[in-house]
Amino acid sequence: MYGLVLGGTASGVGKTVAALAVSRALSEAGHDPVPAKAGPDYIDPSHHAAALGRPSRTLDTWMQGVEGVRRNLHRAAADVDRAAPGDPATDAVAVVEGMMGLYDGSATSTAATAAALDVPVVLVVDAGAGMQSVGATALGFREYAAHADLPAHVRDAVDDPRVDVVGVVAQKAHTGRHADGIREALPDDIAWLGHVPPADDLMVPDRHLGLEMGDEAPVPEAAIAEAAETVDGEAAARAARPVAPPSAAEGSGRGGGVAGTDTPGGRGAAGGTDGDRPTVAVAADDAFRFVYPATRERLRELATVEPFAPAAGDDLPDCDAVYLPGGYPENHAAALSSSPALSTLADRAADGLPVLGECGGLMALSASLTTVDGETHRMAGILPGGVRMHDRYRALDHVELRATGDGVTAAAGERHRGHEFHYSSHALGEAGDASVSPDADARFAFDVERGEGIDGDRDGLVAHRTVGTYAHRHPASGAFDRLVAAADEYARGP
């Protein structure tokens, strides 16, 4: 597989739209684009998936390691038809959208992702108010590579880590004199991949936490096609380089069992025939949306996955464990409050059903949710405490947790990595929570080594076999293997 990274000069320069336009231009030129996103984000990949009709891989070197991101991306080879793997004319081309500006980030960065994959960077520049200076910007970003401090986990794992800025996409440049002027002023060795003219249809609406999701507010098909008309798919294919293979060298990925996933070695959590596999119910609706493709894959490898839509009124299906991902429960608080799924879940949880809720999922498992307009809604009430929405971020960063041994998704002493991003806060003794006073001794599954967690020091409230974290853990942590192992144990009974 070939690949390139689209790195921004900053956040908000239009990388998502550039990624869609470059991918479309590659398709038009007869290539097979594979979408991916650097960093821990769930939202931008949902736009890639909506536009390209295939999952967009989340590549975070800090959460997955260099080997993990390589494996994850190479696994995507199974999603595409390739006429001749290894031939630059016909092989798939990964288009990896960066996060923030190219060099920004403390745990990892877009530059680190490019170095980990050994692919070049195409700079996305907001050219709305510039011309020759776009070339100067690209040159500056290229020169800075020599000064960039790549994270140690990348430097240690990559032989010759390099960040190569090889080309430019000019965002918000008008067709004609403006775009031509930018192209003519570029230094010879910075390739012109084209420009995206400003267009209202390309403005994806946003709300707290980022853009609206790709399946709620997809970029209109016609707008993507139009944006791609001024992007050169052949130039993009020429800029791409082969993606560094995972050292476990098992090629196209699927069918290799655990070695083919982007997760660590499995523990045979739920071996045996299909009939033996436990069932994991996964909430999937407008309230619960934040799931990595790698998590879906891992769960499907180990268990039977049963999706359900609590905010749409579904009851909890028959299952041996439940996963409530993050999302926007605050936008569906009334529906969730009267959802049969939450009351069934409360009964089953008390009976020992293993349940994992992450962020939005934690909110739904708590006693109450108070929205920004001050309305309090009852939630499942499995975990103590209530959640309150605010009008700005309460946490936004990578997290590292050390397991206390309580809760079913980690063994004592294990370190799990993930990220957190939310506007809500959780407090014991919040509205509707009669059971626990602020100083009651609640149980926690994790001490927080990096990040905020639930109270700054701890994450993962525990009751029965239910765990609720603010952290979203990547499956590379092993969290989902553990959840399935707990499901297996539950299915077998006492």
Ligand X SMILES: NC(=O)CC[C@H](N)C(=O)O
For residues 207 and 210, what is the distance between their CA atoms, to the nearest angstrom?
Answer: 6
Residue 252 tokens, joined: 């196209």
Active-site annotation holder among 186, 211, 291, 359: 359
Which runs of consecutive H residues, i.e. helices, occur in 366-420?
none
Binds ligand X (CB under 6 A): choice among 212, 258, 423, 443: 423
User: Which is closer to ligand X, CB of 144 or CB of 423?
Assistant: 423
- Is 421 among the residues that bind ligand X (CB under 6 A)? yes
Which residues in the 199-238 window bind ligand X by CB under 6 A?
208-209
**Cα 25–Cα 31–Cα 36 angle in degrees, nearest 5:** 75
Is 359 a catalytic site residue?
Answer: yes
Residue 325 tokens, joined: 């991902």
Which residues in the 275-294 window bind ligand X by CB under 6 A?
290
Core vs surface per residue 414-448: b (16+ CB within 10 A) or e: bebbbbbbbbbbbbbbbbbbeebeeeeebebbbeb
- Residue written as token pair 């790195």: 7
Residue type, 83: A
Give the range of 61-69, 71-79, 192-200, 324-332 binding ligand X by CB under 6 A.
Answer: 324-332
CB of 375 to ligand X, least distance (A): 16
Binds ligand X (CB under 6 A): choice among 330, 459, 488, 489: 330
- Is 460 among the residues that bind ligand X (CB under 6 A)? no
Residue 369 tokens, joined: 């949710």
- Is 41 among the residues that bind ligand X (CB under 6 A)? no
Q: Answer whether 151's CB lies under 8 Å from 62's CB.
A: yes
- Is 366 among the residues that bind ligand X (CB under 6 A)? no
For residues 39 and 297, what is the distance between their CA atoms, to the nearest angstrom?
Answer: 19
The one-character DSSP state at 329 is: G
- Is 357 among the residues that bind ligand X (CB under 6 A)? no
Binds ligand X (CB under 6 A): choice among 424, 466, 469, 477: 424
CB of 290 to ligand X, least distance (A): 5
Residue 76 tokens, joined: 């995507």
Give the range of 5-13, 73-81, 137-145, 326-334 binding ligand X by CB under 6 A.
Answer: 326-334
- Residue written as token pair 């359900």: 308
Maximal CA-CA distance, the chain? 75
Binds ligand X (CB under 6 A): choice among 38, 163, 228, 359: 359
- Is 335 among the residues that bind ligand X (CB under 6 A)? no
Residue number of the CB closest to ligand X reads 326
Binds ligand X (CB under 6 A): choice among 310, 326, 384, 386: 326
Q: Answer whether 484's CB lies under 8 Å from 321's CB.
A: yes
Active centre residues (catalytic): 359
> Could you list the residues that contact ligand X (CB under 6 A)?
208-209, 290, 326-328, 330, 359-360, 421-424
